[in-house]
Every structure is written in C-alpha cells, then in structure tokens.
Structure 1
Amino acid sequence: MKPVSLSFAEFRSCHLLLGIALALCFNRVSCTTNETDRLALLAFKAGISEDPFGWYGIICGRRHRRVTVLDLRSQGLFGSISPHVGNLSFLGEMWLQNNSFNQEIPPQLGQLRRLRILKFTSNSLIGEIPRNISGCSDLVLLWLGKNKLTGEIPRELGSLLKLREFALHKNNLTGSMPSSIGNLSSLEILVLRENNLSGSIPQVLGHLKNLQFISLAINAVSGTIPSSLLNLSSLIAFDAGNNQIHGTLPASIGDIPSNLGNLQNLSYLELSDNNLGGTIPSSLGNLSKLISLFLDGNNFHGPIPPPLSNCLSLNLLDLSDNNLSGAIPPQLMGLPSLAIILNLSHNHLTGFLPPKIGNLRTLTMLDISNNLLVGEIPSGLGECTSLTSLWMGGNFFHGSIPQSMRSLGGIDELDLSCNNLSGQIPEFLIVFRSLKLLNLSYNNFEGVLPCEGVFRNATGTSIIGNNKLCGGLPEFHLPNCISKSFKSRKINLVILSTSVILGVLGIALILASIYLCWLKKIVMEPVSSSRDDSCPNVSYGTLLKATDGFSSTNLIGAGSFGSVYRGVLEVSGTTVAVKVLHLVCHGALKSFNVECEALKNIRHRNLLKILTVCSDSDYQGNDFKALVYEFMDNGSLERWLHPSATSSHHNGVPRKLNFIQRINIAIGVASAVDYLHHQCHIPIIHCDLKPSNILLDSEMVAHVGDFGLAKFLIGSSFGTAANQMSSVGFRGTIGYAPPEYAMGCEVSREGDVYSYGILLLEMFTGLSPTDDTFRDNLTLHGFVAKALPDQVLEITDSPLLQERESHLSRYNPQHDIFQERLAMIYNIGVACSNEVPGRRISISGVINQLHRIREKLFALGLHGPVNSITEERINHPFLL
C-alpha cells in the first residue's frame, strides 16, 4: 500500500498518540494501532543507545494505520538497526542517513516488499550487503554510501528492475561489478566511487539506456571502457577518475570513440586521472549540451581539437596533465560559456596565447602554466574581469605585464613565474585588495619593489630570481635602491670623465691585448672569474697543511685522474675539497686543463664551484697540480644511493633520500645540464654524468662536478663536439655512457641526456647500471621499461616504499600518488636512455615534466602548499 498524506489535524493527532504511547512504554515509538508495527518500533528503539533529540519521524498510512515512512535522518542516533524492522510490512520509505548506526544491515530488510526508498548514507555500518535486499522488488532508491561495508556487490541486486538510483560510494567493497547490473533497465544514477572494486567495467552497462550519471572513481577498475557504454544517449555524467584503467579505449572505436559525439544529452564527462591515451577526438564537439569536460591526468597527445568550440554550453574544461601539443585553438576563445575553469596546464602547448582570450569575460580560473607558450601577454586578458585565479608560469612569455590587466581587480592568485617577462612591476598590483598569492619569480623584472598591498605579505609574494629588483621589505633581501639624485650626479661624473677615458682607452686596449696573450700561455693560472676572495691562490705547502699531509683520514673520494681530500685553509678557515691530480696517469694533465677551461667562465647554482687552482712543485721537485673546490657537506649522491658500511650513517642518521629530495636533486642536475648545453657562451658536454660526480651541499642541493672529460661545442651546428676538442678512446663511464660512444660517434648533447636518464633510473630504483642483476643483455633501461606501468613498486628503492606506506596510512589509501608519480619518473628515465639518440627527449623537456610531477605531489598534500583551485572538482549533490 502506498503512503497517504495526512491532513495537519490528522498528522498532529498521530504524533500526539505517539507521544502518549512512548511515555507509557518508556519509548516514543507508536503512531500505529497495529500491534506488530508497535512491537517492531519498540524493538528498533531498544537497539539505539544514544538518542540526543528524542527521535521522531514516523508516518502512518491513512487507511490501515500502518507505518509507511521511517524518517530518522540526522538525529544523532547511535546503535544498531534491529532485525525486527523487517516486520514493518507496509514500510515504503526508510531514511536513516547521517547518524551513527554501526552494526550490520539486517537481512530481514528483504521482507519489505513495499519498500521504495532505502537510504542509509553516512553511517558506520559494517559487514556485507545482504543479498536478499533483492526481495524489495519495488525499490527505486538504494543509497548505502559512506559506510564501512565490505565484500562484493551482490549479483542478486540485478533483479531490482525499478531501481533508478544506486549509490554504494565510499565503502570498502571488493570484487568486480556484477554483470547483473545490466538488468537494471530503469537505472539513472550509478555511484560506486571510492571502493576497492577491481575487474573491468561490464559490457552490459551499456544496455542501460536511462543512465545519466556514472561514478566509478577511486577504485582499482582495470581494462578498457566498453564500447557499449558509449551508446548511452541519456548519459549526464561519467566519472572514472583515479582507477587503474590501462591502455586506451577499445581499438574498434578509437582512443576516445568517435561515436561519443552521439551522446546528445551528455552534460558532464569526467575521465580524469587514468592512463587513457591517443588523441582527443573532434567528435566531442558534437556534444552541444556538454557543461563540464574533465580529461586531465591522462596520456592524451596531439592537438586540442578546434571543434570543442561547438560545445556552446561548456563552462568547465580541464585538459591538464597530458602530453598535448600544438597551438591553443583560437576558436576555443569564442566560448563565452566558459565561466568556471579553463585548465590547459602541464602539457606541451606551443605558440601564442590567442588575443581573443578577452572573450572569456566570465571565466573564473585560467591555468596555462608549464607549457611552451611564447610571445607577449595579450592585452585582451584584461577583459577577463571575472578571473580570481590566473596561472601562466613555466612558459616563455616575454615583454612587460600589460597595463590592461589593471582591470583584474578581483583576482586572488596570480602566477607569472618562470618566464622571460621584463620591465618594472606595475603599480596597479598594489591596489588589488583580493590578491593573496603573487608569484613573479624567475623573470627579468627591474626597478623598485613596492612595499604596499600584497607586497607587504612576504609569505604570499615571491620575487626570487629577478636580480635587477631593489628595495621592498627586508624579508625579500633585495639591495637598496640608488636614488635619482645620486644617479644624476653619477651620470654627470661619467660625462666629465669621458674625455679622460677616451684619451687613455687606446693605450689600455693595447695593454689589455698584450696581457691576455700572455695570460693564455699560462695554463695553470687560478680561475679568477669564479674564485672566492676568501681563497687566494694557494701553494703546495698550503694544501699539504690544509689536508694534514694529504692524510687518508681526509680522503673523501678517488677517480681515474685524481684523489679528493677534505681540507681547511689556515688563513681563512674555509673548508674546501682539494682534487689532487695523479700526473703519472695518462690524460690527467689534459683533464686538469679541460676542467680549468670549463669552469672558469660558468656559474650556476647546480654546478660545483671552483675556488682556485694550484700549479706548483712538491718538496721532491715533482710537478703538482690541484683544483680547489667549495666543500659539499653531504658528499656525493653515490654515497646516499649506495651507502657502504662506513658511510651508511651521516651524523648518526641513516642516509636515506625521500621522494621530494630525489626529485629536487633530479631537477637540479637537469638544470645544470640544460645550462651547460644551451646557456653557456660555448656549449659544454659533460660526458661523465653519474652519482659520484653529483655533490650535495648542506641543504641537499645538487651540484654537478668533475669536468675532466668535458667537451666544447665549437664550430659545430649539429650538436656534437668539434673534432679539434676530441680525444682518442671511449669517453665516459661504462653503464652511463651512451651506446653510440662505444661505436666511435662524437660526443653530443643527446649523450649527456642518455647518462642523465640512467642516473634518474638509478636514483629511484636504487640499482646501479653495473649491478650484478644486469647480465645477459639485460640493462637498467630494459629492466625498468619491462616493469612499466604496473610493476613499478617492485623495482623501486626500499626507502621510497617505506615512505609510501607511511603516506598511505596517513592519507587516502585508495589513491596511490607514489605509484602514479613513480611511473611518470620512470617513463622520463626510459625516454632519456633510448638507444637511438634522435628519440631521446630534450633536457628542457625533462625539467618541465619533473616540475609537473613535483607540483602535483605538492598539490596532493605530500609536501608543501595545496592549490585547491587547480584540484577543484564540481561536487554533485548526490555524492555528498
């Protein structure tokens, strides 16, 4: 019997009778004249141990006075659900959500033939889902989400032919989705997210023509998305995020099927954080009602399809964290409906930001960071007056910040870091009252740093890497600005001195030329351009005393051409590392000369700093050559990755590198290599990248050292070292040197990239390329490639696995950030160490991808601040 609405008088009378009965029976459980229902309610009340509000919410049918609705939602109830509830044979609706029921769901519920709504969401129910709930043949809504249910989804539930909403999200369910779900022909909503479900998506799911919303996120679902699923013409939403869906969609329908565009009613599509690949099909542009599209966190490549601009209702588009390339389609800027998010970050997009960006006047967040975009910031960006977050960092934008951006007064977050922007910091940023985060770091800004507005907040403002700025708060550690009057006097002084300077300039140039010619003849001259003033040119005796007679207790390393000692210079008290050349070894003297030449004109945060050199004779009259370096407190990366019995502890602490430290070191080394290859006046090939040549300072910042095998790219347009700089023989270290070097090929940038790739794989596997594991043609490259993508944990260094276990125990155990990011890192290492030089990725591409991985780890809470807007998702009401 269906429930009947009562008049106000009848409703009030019913509750009055209930109150009297409850008072007489020490319970408030009866509005019915039926003894069976009354006893069932009393038993139900007896199972409740905490009832802070005195529970109410019973509705009786008008005709038989039987209980038809039990509505006890959000009443703070604690206890169990009595099996006697199965005796309420006229019960049509049971609402118990948002309480603390903590025992099993009684199987007696299966006796309630008239039950249409069963909602137990947000409790602490345990055990398995009773199979005989299938007896509730009239069920329309079954919500059991946000509990602690275990076991498999009963296949018997496939007999609930009237079911329209089925939600089991946020439990601990296991097993695969039963194929019997395909019998639920009335189903509109299926929510199974955040469980431990495995197996594949059943093909029969595609038979459910009324489905509007599917959520399978955060499980362990594998396989492909079934082609039959793509015929759901009424589908409103699809969420398969954070699963382990591998490969692409079925080959018969392409990577994302072209007939996906037939879903004319589709308004919400989310395929985030999977391993889907291929190109984004143009047929998505047929989805004229599409409101939100999430394809982020996959491996899609190729261009952004311009037909997406046909989705005239689209207000949220997230294509971030893929491998997309090509230009941003100008047509996309013609979508005035884009009002929430446009996120194209962490791809390989090139070209300009389209000038028509100003058409997106209602857009709230724009993120195009970490791409390869060039040109100036278009002035039309100032017309996007609804922006609250703008992320443009990690590109190649140049020029100044356009004055049109003064109209973005409501912006909260602005990131323009890591570009080539120049000019002065515009004053209108001072009056942006909502601005809480401003990142202008690593550009070429100059002039006075303001002290007002957001610039008062030293923690929310970043300006590092702009060496021409001055002033600002003391916390920014910038130099004081020179006043205009002082500049004017200085200019006058220069003008007055010009005539004198011009008079002696000719003589000075002649003398300088003579001096330079003489200087070139002296090979062993100190490296003055990079020498620390506190470290004067030293003699043999000074270094002998500094190292306690080159004592073995001060020996910190040895290589092919020399030994390295720790020393303390007596005059300055500076701790140094002294590399003494073994001149009897063939090539040692040339190594000394090359390293001097390589290091005298380069300067980078991640390169080992040379302080001075020594060219002298020892006390027996033998030639003595040494290089004096800045001392690195934490030694070599080799000792951290492969600690010996004597070096397994550092200051009493075991030598273990965590995930973030390894990524930071990897980024530091890649940055140094990129500097050598592309930013030096004469490009340099290192030729010997390996852990023993990576030194770590007190803050664990990586410094690349040992340039004894370095080569210069002089007079070559093909990226290989000039012949005149070559030497006979194999160059590099076995295991790290690329295979083409063994075949007599010239050294090249690609050779360094190969060595870097092997180094990166070693850093995260903990295995040296010369390990005994690698024999019978098995290499570290092949070992890792074979493990991708499913077995990465099996090949990972044990300290990282321990860190992973700790992280999973404290955060979401169903979202394995470590495994995802490890797979990405191994992919980079494998791509770098490809046997074919032309197929190796560029070192700048490596830096870009590693930054993406690190930022993702920061955003997901592993370390550092969380960017909540970038991770924002639309919360659908029935997932709450």
Structure 2
Amino acid sequence: MEGKPYCFASACAFWPSSLTFLILALSCPLATSASISTLNSSNENIDRLALLSFKSLVSDPFRALASWNHESLHFCRWRGVTCGNQSHLPRVAALELESLDLFGKISPSLANFTFLRRLHLADNRLHGPIPQELGLLSHLQRLNLSSNAVRVSFNNLGGVIPPSIWNLSSLTILELQSNHFTGSIPPDMGITLPLLEELNINDNQFDGPLPISLSNATNLINIQLYKNRFTGTIPRGLGSLQKVDHFDVCYNQLVARNAVEWGFLDDLANCSSLKYLQITSNKLGGFLPRSIVNFSTTLEWFEIDDNHIAGSIPAEIGNLVSLTSVRMNSNLFTGKIPATVGNLSNLQIMDLSRNYFTGEIPATLGNLTRLLELRLHSNELQGPLPASLGNCPLELLDLSVNKLNGTVPKEIMAIPTLTRFLNVSYNSLEGSLPFEVGKLKNIGKFDISGNRLSGTIPRTLGDCQQLDTLWGCPSSEPASCPTPSSGKRHLSRKLVAAISVASGIICLILLLSLFGIHRWIPKSKKEAHAADAIKVPHMMVTYAELLRATDGFSSANLIGVGSFGSVYKGLLDYEEYQLVAVKVLNLQQRGASRSFVAECEALRNVRHRNLVKIFTACVSADYRGNDFKALVYEFMPNGSLEKWVHPEANEQGQTRALSLIHRLDILIDVASALDYLHHHGPEPIVHCDVKPSNVLLDQDMVAHVGDFGLARFLNSSPVEASQRSSSTSMIFKGSIGYVAPEYGVANKVSVEGDVYSYGILLLETLTGKRPTGASFMDGLSLPRYVEMALPERVSEIIDPNLHLEKGEAANGHIRGTDYIRDKAVECVSLSLRIGIRCAKESPQERMQMQDVISELTAIRNGWIHH
C-alpha cells in the first residue's frame, strides 16, 4: 500500500465492499502522491487532463460531451463542469453529468480535482468499482452515483457502518436505504455531522436508540429512518430543526407511555416547515397530546396508525388546513369524530378505522370536496349515513361494522367517482336500495351484507358495468354468513336475526346483478372480444386507475396526439408494469372505434421484439357515463423516430442527434417488424401507416413499430374479411406522403404498400427531409429528389444532424476524418438506393423486406468494421 493513505488499508481490511470506497471517498484526508503531483506542473492543466481522462473511459452515444472536444473552449465551459476560483485560478468545483447514457468506468483521475465539492453521475450506465483514489477528495460534499451499476442504495450491502462515516464533517447527504446494515447510530451523530441535510437510512436493520444529538443537526431537511429496529423513546429538542419538512420513523419499536415521553410531539409542533409526520407501526401508547393542534398549517401528512394510542381527537385539529392525509386507524381512540374535520378543505385521505369512536358521522364531512378515501369501519358509530357525503369525490367509502341505522341515502349511491369499493356491511340499515345505485357505473366492489334491507330490488343495479364483486349471504342459514373481521365485538342476536331475514334478499340482489351484468354488452361485441383477447393474465385496469396513473390525463403527461386519440405517460402499480403509455381514443372522431378494434385484433396474437408491446385494453365509461376506450402499452422512454430525425432545440439551444449506426440499426429493426407482420406472424398483416412518428425507441434505442389503428388482415375467409373490412375501413389508407400511390385508385391493401411507406421512411431518416416538405412540389417527390443526387451529390443531401463516430482502430491504425466521412457517404449512398427501390411507383418492382434486412445488415457491418 505504498503511496496510499493509511485509511485505505485499514478500511479494506475489515469491510471489503463497494461501500468502503464511497466512505473513503468522503472521509480520507488529502494525500499528495507522486503520481498526482507529477502529472503536470500547472494545477489548472491537471483539471483539464483529469476531465479528458474521464471522457476516455466512457462512450457517449448521444454526444452529450461534444463540447469537450473543442480545444479552444476552456474546460470550465464544458458541459457539466462548474469551476470556482482558487488562488486566482479556475479549478473544477462540480462535475454534474446525470442522465446522459454514459457507458463505461469511473476514472481514478477524478481524484485530481482537489477542490471538487459535487460529483453527480447518476442515471447513466457506469459500471465497475468506485475508484478508491476518490478518497483524496477531502472537499467533496455531495456524491451521487445512483442508478448505475455502482449504486450504494438499494443493494444487498450489509454489516456495520465503519465509525469513520459518522465523522464526515462536510457531509450534507447520507443515503444508505434498502440494504442490510446493522448496528446503532452514535449518540453524537448530530454534532459530528453538523451540515447534514438528508438522512436516509430506511429499510435496514439498524437498532438501538435514536441519537440524542439529532436536534444538533439543524440543517436537516429530510429524516427517513423507517423500517429499522430502533427502540426507546423519540428524543427531545427536535424543535430546533426549523428546516425539517419530512420526519418518518415508521415501522420501528419506539415507545411513548406518558406525557413526558410524548414530549417529542410538543417539540415537532415548533418545526414551522414540517409537512410530513409519520410514526406509524411503533409501540406508542398513552393519550394523544393536545399539542397536535399547535402544528404549523404547513403540515400535510399526519400518520400515527397501528399503535396503542388512546384518548379523543381535539376539535382544534380543524385548524390544520393543509392536511391531505390523516391516518389514525388501528389504535384505541374513543369519543366523537369532531365536526371541525369538515374544515380540512385539502383532505384527500382520512382513515379512522379500527378504533372505538362513537356518536354520529359528522355531516360536515360533506364539505371535503377533495376527499378520495374515507375509512371509518370497525368502530361504534351510530345514527344515519349523512347524505352530504354525496358531495365528496370519493373513490373508496368503507363504513362497515358499526351501528349505523336508517336508510341508504340516494346521494351516496349517485357518487360518480366511486370506483374502488363501497362497503356499508354489518350495520342496521333498513329500507330498500335506491334506484340511483345504477349511477355507480364504475364501481368494482360493493358490500351491503349484514343489514336489514327490504323492498323492491332496483333493476338499475344491472347498469353497474364494472361490478365484479357483490357481497351478501349465499345461504339463508345465519351460521354461513360472514362475521366482522375486526374481532372487537360480536354480532347481537338481533343483528344475526336481521341477517337471516335479509340473506334471501341479498342473494336475489346478487343474482339480479349478475343477470344485469350479463345483459350489459358493449355496443360492439367485437370491441369487447378484441379488448379481452389482448389483456395480460390478471391485469385489469379501470377508468379510475388510468385517470390516477396519468394524473387526470394532464397535459404534463401528454406525449403524443394522433388521428384517433391522445397518448399519455402513466404510472401503473401492477407487478413489473410501472411506466406505461396510455392511448385514449377520441370517440367523437369518426373511425376511432374502428381503429380501436383494428389495433386490438392486430396486436392480440403477434409477438416480436420490434413491435410495441400492448399490456391491456380498457372498455368502460368515464365519470359522466360517456363511453371510454383506451389501450395500455409498454412505455418507450426515447420517444419516436420522428423527434430524433426532426429534433427540436431544448432550453439550452441544444439538439439531440442520431449517429449513422443508430439510424441503420433502427431501419433494420423496422424492416424486421414488417417482415414478421407480412410473412411470419399467425396471420399476414399490413400495417398501412408506416412513418417515423409510429416508430418508437426504447431505452436501448431499439425500434418498435406501433399504432396499428389502420392495420388490415390478409388471407381472411370471406366472412372474416367482410367483418374486418367494416371494422377497419378507412377514408384514407395511411398518411399523406407515405401512402402507396396505388391506394388512391384501388380499395385493396397489400404488403407492397407497406414496403413503399418503409422506403419513404428510410429516405427521410437518412436525409432529414419530410416527404411533404415545401421543396416537393410540381411533381418532385422525395424518392426523385434522392435519385437525382445519386451518386455524385450524396454528401449534399445527407441529414446535417447525422453525426459520425470517431474512427476506430483498423489494422493497427486510427482512420482519419476524411476517410471516415468518405466511408459514411458510401454507406448512406448504398442505403438510399434501397429506399428508392422500395419506393418504386410499380408495386411489382419493390423489394421484399427480407432482402432489405439482408442488404442493410451488410451495409451496417461494413460501417462497423471500416
């Protein structure tokens, strides 16, 4: 270890993992080694050489570091580099290169940035170990290497944190979450880390008490300690943390048994910036202090569920007008729910279930015009269901297992947003079910069992189009009826008798509901059949889920608009399907429904790596009862080929560009998809709308053909052909500029039509010229324009945004720039000839897709090995 600081040898000896190097990078004192001091006599030049060394170990597919190639440009003006003056010389103070798709290893030369304070390389494709030389960076304050192959958070790292990490006096962020670290936090942590702003060590196995010096770290903003094994009380003095906005100690073993031990809540009430207070699932007991009414009006989340807290809710809670989420469920609360909760105008979620609340449900809850979830089940609530709840945009309402009586208000049955669950079971409700129940068109689950309902069963129950579960007793025997799951109380004999009488009625409702659902058939049987056929097993989505996933189909999530609908980015909580693209059909547009059927039928059986993957379809109704149809696809983070061939400048005036190799790869991908559709799928399919905006690129820049709204089937039986023709007939087969010329005079599509469209796409991809541009008038077309330039003037028509990679070593020599350009022009010229042959006027003269793939692959390989 000669030439290395002592801390490397000692740390690596007792903890051989990648985290060691992170800690060393932040903790080791500045050391001067011969290898660094002799790099260059100029300190300024050392920084420049270190940057170039970093660049030499990474590939830059999107030319994000293009400015680093200009020798005349000072390195302080290179992208991602921030400098500061040290002894009147500019020195690198920050290197921030997030989300640039850089691939390679982290250069040890970064240790030469002796004044570096921020190193942010997150969300790239860096791999390998963290260089231990980074331990020389004594001024480093922030290090973010997340979302690479060198991550520290979300790994399987374990063991005890070395004591040295708690002595990093310059540290501002400590993130070690989702690992298997053990041990306790030193009691003086808040003193040794005075500049700490974020403490994220959740989801580990830390134990022992919380540090009593936590209040000394007065710069703390974010405290995330949840899901560990911390014990003891929550320390006092937290009121000094005036910057903290998030305090989360959920899922630990912390205790509070009396007013003294609840004192931390009094302290937190003085934190004027606090927004999120979460102490769920601990061992907190005693009475809830009245000091909660002193919290700042900035408080948004107050979650203390799953503890042993007793007492009542103070009426002054209505003063916390910023609250959006209140969770106090699974405790020992008593008394009445204060009417002042109706003042919480921003409240979205309220869960007071599994307690011992008494009295009536306050009618003031009807004032909560943003309330989405209301859970009051498993209490001792009495009186009628307040009709005012009909004013709330509820998605879920659970009032089960109480002592509520009276009739079911028609206002509740008419809440259009109720989609997830309506549960009023095991109460003493009487009378008949209002006919307004039919307005719950999107309700998924409905439980009315264990009441005293009677009277006529409304036929409108059959209008509940999304209802898949209706709970009631299947038998007239009381013993077979379900009992409350809370275990806090037993049904009275009177209630059991009521269940016995009502059970037959409930069963009738169930049967009628099923009958009604069977009778409800979409206007087009073909739509339902086609939609069901493409659904991933067990993946069902409702209108409400898609509404939430896209934040109300907000314009911020809009990623594209087509002829028959709009496409939104969405976040679905379903297994591995998280980020998705949701295509919402504009059913007011003529042909949109036919397009929906065509796309479903085309994609339900095809499987190919270069076709967009469809997850499911939704045929439903929106909250106003209007028909709603949507398709859910795999999300393509790099957008469409259209936006790469015709890029728009960003706020910094920069545009992204595709290299020649990327363009050739994409063209081969599209050709492969069409060849599969035409000749190798379950049934020959003609896409009918091949163009750059319908070619989508995934995170690895692999192309996927999408938008099958105009697709047609070949070789169908006469009956099927007739049905499909009526479903997919179109006023105009394709998009102007890409549609085959024979489509204008004949009503028959063919694979040759797709070949023509592909030829136009190829020419556009390599020239950057749209086929409908102003240049193409008076008989001049894009194919003719390209043909006139071949072979002498090809360099004049190549897309100016097409950038060429630096020459690779060939036969021991580095190729010069002129050779590279000449070779590129040759490759483009050969590729353009393929495009012209595909876009011939006569369908019989056009190429076959398999020949296109073969020739383009040969051109691509020739370019790689030039």
TM range (shorter): 0.3 to 0.5
Question: Based on CA coordinates, which of the two structures has the bigger radius of gyration?
Answer: 1
Instruction: Give the structure-2-normalised TM-score.
Output: 0.45
Instruction: Give the structure-1-normalised TM-score.
Output: 0.45
